[in-house]
Amino acid sequence: MTKDDLRRRLEFYQDLGIKTYYRKPRTQPLPEPAPIAQPEAQVVAIKVEQVIPPVAPVALIPLAPEGDTLLRIREDIGDCKRCRLHEARHKIVFGSGSDSARLVFVGEGPGADEDAQGLPFVGRAGQLLTQMIDGTASKEGIPIQRPDVYICNVVKCRPPENRTPQPDEMEVCGAFLFRQLQVLRPKAICALGSTAAKAILGTKEGVTRLRGKWHKWHDIPVMVTYHPSYLLRPYNQNAKREAWEDLKKVLHYVYD
């Protein structure tokens, strides 16, 4: 505001009758506060280590209970109704042979004769198996017969119309088969046919690829060969010869 502006403003107030004027004391503006120095942000790398508490080792459930026996296994099976195979069966076919057998034969499942008698390999295929064991052992000078070995099947009940056991049926019965093998702890196992080979070795390969060579089940040598029922077919002459060669190899391995 100029001096002339101020004079005119005062004259205006006088005309209004205002005689006294007050002026606020002039104040000095406060100095701007000095900026406060902020400490430089320091990035501190903190190493965070994930602390994982130690986990106590889990005790694995043994395949066979401590102190297991063939009698206990049979009692545990009882009047089994764990799968559909019990619906048409007559008798459970557990196994037969020596409790101290050094050689175990494992087949697929009971047929009609086995279902009726409750014993494994008593039909035509069983008679052929007996001839194979007794005859081969005699020719090779090995002093054993069928009662000296142990014979059982993957499934303990006859599948309807002798069909191949289903995977869930094999799984249920397989638990008891594995317990039998653990109790017997033979020097070798002979798997008769593809179903037995699949159950013991967990393989999808057929007998033709597996036979004649040693495999392992829990550190026990396993020989795969043809099922006797397959050998009964008239066009399987080559398979018969190969099966006898497989059996000779097994017998010499176990009893030599």
Is 5's pLDDT higher than 90? no
The DSSP result for 174-201, as a single string, is HHHHHHHHHHH--SEEEEESHHHHHHHH
| Per-residue pLDDT band at 235 (split at 50, 70, 90) | confident
Residue 210's H or E segment, with its range, is helix 207-210
What per-residue confidence (pLDDT) applies to 138? 97
Q: Which residues contact 248 (CB under 8 A, 6 or more apart)?
A: 136, 140
Of residues 251 and 4, more confidently modeled: 251
What per-residue confidence (pLDDT) applies to 10? 62
pLDDT tens-digit profile of 92-141?
999 999 999 999 999 999 999 999 999 999 999 999 999 999 999 999 99
pLDDT tens-digit profile of 8-56?
666 655 555 555 655 655 555 555 656 655 555 554 554 545 555 554 4
What per-residue confidence (pLDDT) applies to 48? 47
137, 143 contact by CB (below 8 A): yes
pLDDT, averaged across the chain:
86
CA distances from 151 to 38, 43, 177 (A): 89, 75, 11
Nearest-CA neighbor of 133 among 96, 158, 94?
Answer: 96
| Per-residue pLDDT band at 59 (split at 50, 70, 90) | very low
What per-residue confidence (pLDDT) applies to 23? 60
Strand-pair category, 96-97 with 188-192: unpaired
Q: What is the DSSP letter of 165?
A: P
CA distances from 237 to 103, 208, 226, 229 (A): 26, 14, 12, 13
What per-residue confidence (pLDDT) applies to 60? 39
Nearest-CA neighbor of 195 among 176, 232, 169, 218?
Answer: 169
Strand-pair category, 150-153 with 214-217: unpaired
